[in-house]
Amino acid sequence: VLPRERPGSKHVYHLYVVEHPQRDDLAKYLVEQGVYCGIHYPTAVHEQAPFARSRTVPSGAPVAVERSRRMLSLPLYPGIRREQVERVSEGVHTWLGARV
């Protein structure tokens, strides 16, 4: 599934983030397959030092905390080649298929 583009605009495809409760296992598998992925926000924003004393964040923000533990950024950039996209896709599908 690709992000939507608004009429008259073009998506930059800077990040392609997926969520899975076993994010770390998926990331490890992908790296073993030569697919390097990242965790851009390993800590929920409100838990980071600059926001530690903020009073504008709901107490605990449990949804933000849970989502920060599930999100994985797959490789994506403007010059990515089709075969690289297919390798990422195959890696994710293979890993998911082994868990069904």
Which DSSP helix (H) or strand (E) runs through 35?
none
pLDDT in the model for residue 5: 85
Domains belonging to the chain, first-starting first, are 16-97 (3.90.1150.10)
pLDDT tens, N- to C-terminus, the chain (100 residues): 677 888 999 877 778 899 999 999 999 999 999 999 999 888 888 888 887 777 776 667 888 889 999 999 999 887 889 999 999 999 999 999 998 7
User: Do 76 and 50 touch, CB atoms closer than 8 A?
Assistant: no
Helix (H) or strand (E) holding 14: none
| Strand partners for 74 | 16
The beta-strand segments (E) located in the chain are: 16-19, 71-74
Q: Is 67 exposed, middle or buried (0-12, 13-18, 19+ CB in 10 A)?
A: middle
